[in-house]
Amino acid sequence: MGKMLNDFGLFGCAVLVLFLLLLHHEDQHCFAEVPENNKVNESQIGRKCDLFEGSWVYDETYPLYDTSNCPFINTEFDCQKNGRPDNQYLKYRWKPKGCALPRFNGQDLLRRFKGKKILFVGDSLSFNQWQSLRCMLHAAVPNTNYTLSSKGALSTFLLPEYEVSVMFSRDKFLVDLIKTKQGMVLNLDSIGNGNSWKGYDMLIFNTWHWWLHKGRNQPWDYIESGGKILKDMDRLAAFREGLTTWSRWVDSNVDANKTRVFFQGISPVHYNGKEWDDKNSANCRGQTQPVSGSTYPGGSPPAATVVNEVLTKMSYPVTLLDITLLSQLRKDGHPSLYGIDGKKGNDCSHWCLAGVPDTWNELFYAILVTK
């Protein structure tokens, strides 16, 4: 009898050890490297996986790069250099629910896109993501030569060894902002810059941040809609109309066999603590941890619904980089007082680098290597 109990005890211990190993393997699987053959199949990520549902987990291996070693990061995003006293916000990794998210591999991305041109088009949130990707690629190949150049609204980051160009074109609305005798007119029905978006292997668009600006921060004096000149209109309706014009341009001008198109999605702001059930916080100032869990109390912003509705109606298969929820959970990720304006401003719109935009690029990479 004693021998049986002893054998059972040994068996139980073995089962427990195996169970713990499986748990460890599962957690590591969500942190998987891309294999040497550069192939990641559906089973590695999950057949019914939504990369954009999940939660943030603390991870000492983050961030993916040290901003002090990124030679071209802009001051407004370098929160540590600007004196931010905490650094836990750098240590969070996005963990999709039930998914295996491949670890970002900059060398692999550069090999895949050798000889290719990638263009980000949009506002300062697009610039935020472009800056992040430059730092991530530089960290992957720190000894590789690169060139930086700017011409008008176009900025180019070129890695000659890989013949890869990662560019950014500043375009706040995607539709035209035209100077007239009467003032600046936002034309919701025309895209004059479209020709400069042609000929790229990949396009990543965004817009929304500037559509709500009023007063001195509003860059236009009038809106043109359907041939009518208006002093103002419902901003969400204007956004829908402008985005629909952009969608028609993509449908008519982009060949899906030659160019892949992404839309960045809506990057949230954190100017109201009630949105994350914190009545004592007016905004993102002093926030040092993400919202826990996988839901945001404030719900999805109406602009995100507009984006989904417009993309659904398109004939071109645009890939939505649905960053909204995962970014809503990161009330701690903004520059706040540690941006370009220092103590004169409180930036709860843009993001510190290293930080949340790195995750946008991790998800961008995950989509590229799995589909």
Which residues are known to be catalytic? Answer: 124, 347, 350
Q: Could you say which DSSP state residue 184 is in?
A: E
Query: From CA 71, how far away is CA 167, in angstroms rounded?
Result: 17
Query: From CA 299, how far away is CA 361, in angstroms rounded?
Result: 24
DSSP code string of 140-193 = HSTTS--EEEEETTEEEEEETTTTEEEEEEE-SSSSEEEEETTEEEEETT--SS
Ramachandran class of 155: left when φ > 0, alpha when ψ lies in -120 to 50, beta otherwise: beta
Query: From CA 275, how far away is CA 279, in angstroms rounded?
Result: 9
Best CA proximity match to 207, nearest among 232, 235, 166, 165:
235
Best CA proximity match to 132, nearest among 104, 101, 92, 160:
104
Best CA proximity match to 323, nearest among 296, 297, 346, 347:
296
**Residue 106: helix, strand or coil by DSSP?**
helix
Best CA proximity match to 284, nearest among 343, 333, 353:
333
| CA–centroid distance for 249 within its chain | 23
Structure token pair of residue 170: 């500043």
Query: From CA 353, how far away is CA 90, in angstroms rounded?
Result: 9
